[in-house]
Chain A
Amino acid sequence: MNSISTVLLVIGVAFDLFGCIGLIRLPDVYNRLQSATKCVTLGTCSILLSLFFRYGFSDVGVKALIAIPLLFFASTVGAHALIRGSHIFGIKMTDKSIVDDYKDAK
């Protein structure tokens, strides 16, 4: 059990690191949010899951397990609000973008 927990912990920290690298490397706010929601959410979920495997069905483990769906909803709804807000505020998309259907819909 401890070895599974350690493997999950390493995977989680690695994905958190990839997310942070993406936050710096990608060109504009929309693409940065992509890396910030996906990599960081699953990385953090993996760390919480490793906590569950280490402590089993004790109070710490169950709390870590419940935190996973809460984190999912919080990060998706947060990303949704941020990306919509920045589009309405008028932040330009990067030059590489090829299509923007949302501009006509507002």
Chain B
Amino acid sequence: MKYITLFISMLLLWLLLTFNLHSANIIIGVIVSLIVTLLFGHSFLTNWKLFYNPVRYLWAVVYLIVFIWECVKANFDVAYRVLSPRMPIKPGIVKVKCSLKTDIAKTFLANSITMTPGTITVDVISDCLYVHWIYVSSRDPKVYNKRIVGRFEKLLKKVFE
């Protein structure tokens, strides 16, 4: 079942990407999806049952809206820092704790942090994230934990765990 889920999603991606329904194209898509499924199927989502839970897709939409808003804010933030003549930067790498368990949730959290204002993930070691921050506004772990991770953690827990 896990393999079938991966196979169908790969085939859908292929059909959208090539965007024609000739029989030759579909046959090539099936072959390529089969190869990908056989090679990488074992490392696909460990609990695939969550894939068919519609409530999670609703939370994913909420997460997506929050994410896009943060992303737009990030761009204005970086553009301001780059264009301002005094360049208000105070960079540093801080250690942030996260409470997510599964690997895929951690991956999404790290990617979200990279796209939010002034932060970029350097490394993930067990449950600690090392984050490069362009303007370290506080040295108190509680404050920056909330400021960096707090926005996404709850949403991601609802989507992936």
Contact = CB atoms under 8 A, between A and B. Distances in A.
Interface string A33-61: 11101110111000000000000000100
A18 B78 contact: yes
Nearest to A73: B111
Contacts, number: 122
Nearest to B84: A25
Contacts of A80: 110, 114, 120-122
Contact of A83 (B16, B122, B134): B122
B83 interface: yes
Interface string B126-151: 00101010101001000000000000
Given A80-B114, A83-B120, A101-B130, A38 B94 contact: no
Most chain-A Cβ atoms within 10 A of its Cβ — which of B16, B111, B114? B114
Contact of A30 (B79, B90, B91, B128): B91
A66 B72 CA distance: 19
Interface size, B (range): 35 or more
Given A79-B114, A102-B93, A25 B139 contact: no
A31 B93 CA distance: 11
Interface in A49-94: 59, 62-63, 66, 72-73, 76-77, 79-80, 83-84, 87, 93-94
A101 B20 CA distance: 51
A64 to B, nearest CB: 11
For the complex of A and B, the 7 pairs showing the least CB-CB separation, nearest first, are A22-B82, A99-B92, A101-B95, A59-B19, A76-B111, A76-B114, A18-B79
